[in-house]
Structure 1
Amino acid sequence: MTSHVEEIEEEEISKIEKGKGKDCHRGIETVICTSPTTVCLTQKLIAEMIGTYFLIFAGCGVVVVNVLYGGTVTFPGICVTWGLIVMVMIYSTGHISGAHFNPAVTLTFAVFRRFPWYQVPLYIGAQLTGSLLGSLTLKLMFHVTPAAYFGTIPSDSATQALAAEIIISFLLMFVISGVATDNRAVGELAGIAVGMTIMLNVFVAGPVSGASMNPARSLGPAIVMGVYDGLWIYIVGPLVGIMAGGFVYNLIRFTDKPLKELTRNGSFLRSASPKHKTSTSKS
């Protein structure tokens, strides 16, 4: 009896994935979605929204808790929390949506033809929605004082904060490109590598700029809390740094692969030797 019920449930799930479902009230089959592509895209957007939500809830929430509860977490604890939540959400949703959680990353993937352009605004919308919901949750849960503000504000000059954001965003995208987009890398370690990069960046740039690296991470808290000081830094800095990081890694990848292939089959040596090339053509 149980196996029969399970078979029916699996059949219904299969129908939904194909874009069809059953109306239990009227006993007729209706179209829920126009195509499997729509269902798949919806799943990706939900994964991006949930992932970004928990990035804000855990990463920004630990900042609030640390201030409101007498510094019990400490700055190293904040850094570790950011690295852990990024790693956890990558392993949880990376196989569904790619685990971008960052509009600048999504845009860079599209520029380098590793992500379809038509999905870019949908992904960014899902990421911003997750950030706003996460920020709203923190605002409702805690009495957030100005000292416990969980957004990002330059601690010194805007120039210093902008430079820090560009550099750490560059490193983040360079690592992402290496472990997540290059088939020569060990893909299973992508979550650990990216999470540890986030942690290191927060250690270095956290006291300077807040170590955003992500426009969604800064926009959500700013909008919910109504604090817009230096917000442009956290839009321009990550975009410039992440785009540059992706460009540099792609430059390395494109110059490395042909050299290996040419050297492997000997054509590089033949092209470098005119005499050898002539003798080969004559034979």
Structure 2
Amino acid sequence: MVKLAFGSFGDSFSAASLRAYLAEFIATLLFVFAGVGSAVAFSKLTDDGALDPAGLVAVAVAHAFALFVGVSIAANISGGHLNPAVTFGLAVGGHITLITGFFYWVAQVLGSIVACFLLQFVTNGKIPAHGVASGMNALEGIVMEIVITFALVYTVYATAADPKKGQLGIIAPIAIGFIVGANILAAGPFSGGSMNPARSFGPAIVSGDLAQSWIYWVGPLVGGGLAGLVYGDIFIGCHGPVPTSEAYP
């Protein structure tokens, strides 16, 4: 069952919560700067900017490395979400309140937007926005994003949020980075392999291409919510009081 908790504004504006929002902003900014920057750099190094197999691998590896670092540097402060879908999935499982989660979203989206504006400024390059591939429709793109985001948030639960994780928690940032890199390799040519509304929304805002940005909110949020429901109910089972953001992971 869904374990959503509204929370209180007092808890959401505590010193610990404000530090968590700042940590999410910085970590998301650094992740998006490296991830989107890898795509911009590839376009700079090729004549037509078309993403070939080597470029797909390079972008996937860059995202995996950047997310591994981003989760690691924010984990002890905010939990290292860097992704509204991860935050929503954890809220569904009762690991963060809705009010605090909303401010996580704000910090994550602002971090992504600032990262893309910085990239545009320093590279004078076009910021690529996510969109489904030619021949795919919106529903197919949403389903793809649901599946790969489910895999990401399920991994977050298994390696970071599960109270029985034990020593497995040590490798959580690596596992999370790996699943993102693998999913980009699988879904990149089709839906773009976002799994992250903030990662897609920043480039959409800066590029002015918002036509398909809704896909990258609907798909990842549904996938993240399903993962929180499945892992939280079936594998964690019991539900205690909702912890503060500093208690996760």
Shorter-chain TM-score category? 0.7 to 0.9
Q: Secondary structure of the equivalent of 1:184?
A: coil
How far apart in 2 are the matches of 1:127 and 1:121? 10
Stretches of structure 1 that go unaligned for 5 or more consecutive residues are: 1-33, 257-283
How far has the Cα of 1:72 moved from its partner?
11
Matching residue within 181, 206, 217 for 1:199: 181
| 1:216 counterpart letter in structure 2 | A
Task: Using the TM superposition, give the Cα deviation of residue 255 of structure 1 relative to its aligned residue in structure 2, in angstroms.
Answer: 5.8
Partner of 2:85: 104
**1:261 alignment partner in structure 2:** none
- Kindly indicate whether the alpha-carbon contact (under 8 Å) linking 2:86 and 2:153 is maintained by their aligned counterparts in 1: yes
Q: Distance in 1 between matches of 2:237 and 2:79?
A: 26
Q: 1:55 aligns with which of 23, 28, 31?
A: 31
Say whether 1:159 aligns with 2:136: no
Q: Give the root-mean-square deviation of aligned CA atoms.
A: 2.2
**1:103 offset after TM fit, Å?**
1.3
Q: Deviations over 1:11-57 (max 9, x none)?
A: xxxxxxxxxxxxxxxxxxxxxxx99x732222111110001101110
Aligned to 1:244, the other structure's residue is in SS state helix
Higher relative contact order (CA 8 A, sep 6+): 2
Q: 2:223 aligns with which of 238, 241, 244?
A: 241
Aligned to 2:211: 229
Match of 1:188 in 2: 170
Counterpart of 1:120 in 2: which secondary structure? helix
Matched, 1:169 2:149: yes
Q: What are structure 2's unaligned runs of at least 5 residues?
A: 1-9, 47-51, 239-249
Shift of 1:173: 0.9
Match of 1:259 in 2: none
Q: Residue 69 of structure 2 aligns to which amino acid in structure 1?
A: V
Secondary structure, counterpart of 1:96 in structure 2: coil
Cα deviation for residue 254 of structure 1 reads 4.3
- What pairs up with 1:130-141 in 2 under 5 angstroms? 130-141=111-122
Distance 1:112 1:255 in 2: 10
Larger Rg: 1
Identify the residue that residue 235 of structure 2 maps to in structure 1: 253
Greater helix share, structure number: 1
User: What is the deviation of 1:242?
Assistant: 0.8
Query: Contact conserved, 1:179 with 1:193, CA < 8 A, in 2?
Result: yes
The CA deviation string for residues 86-133 of structure 1, in whole angstroms up to 9 with x for no partner, is 001111111111011111221222222111232122111111110110
Task: State the secondary structure of the residue aligned to 2:74.
Answer: helix
Pick closer, same or farther for the CA change 1:68–1:176 going to 2, 3 Å. same
Asked if structure 2 preserves the Cα contact closer than 8 Å seen for 1:53 and 1:133, the reply is: yes
Note if contact 2:88-2:224 (Cα within 8 Å) is conserved in structure 1: no
- For residue 160 of structure 1, report the CA deviation from its aligned partner: 2.2
CA contact (8 A) 1:62 1:73 kept: no
Q: More displaced, 151-160 or 220-229?
A: 151-160
2:45 aligned to 66, 69, 72, which one? 69
Is the contact made by 1:66 and 1:73 (CA closer than 8 Å) also made in structure 2? no
State, as a whole percentage, how many aligned pairs show the same letter. Answer: 33
8 Å Cα contact 2:85/2:149 also seen in 1: no
1:60-85 Cα offsets, whole Å, 9 max, x none, are 00000001112897221111111010
- Number of aligned pairs? 220
2:89 & 2:216 partners in 1: Cα distance? 16
Q: Which of residues 169, 191, 201 is equivalent to 1:219? A: 201
Alignment of 1:73-84 (within 5 A): 74-84=55-65
Aligned partners of 1:83 and 1:198 also within 8 Å: yes
**Contact in 2 for aligned 1:104/1:238 (Cα 8 Å):** yes
Determine whether 1:124 maps to 2:125. no
Q: Distance in 2 between matches of 1:127 and 1:209?
A: 21
For 1:189 and 1:254, the matched residues in 2 are separated by 19
* Counterpart Cα distance in 2 of 1:232 and 1:175: 24
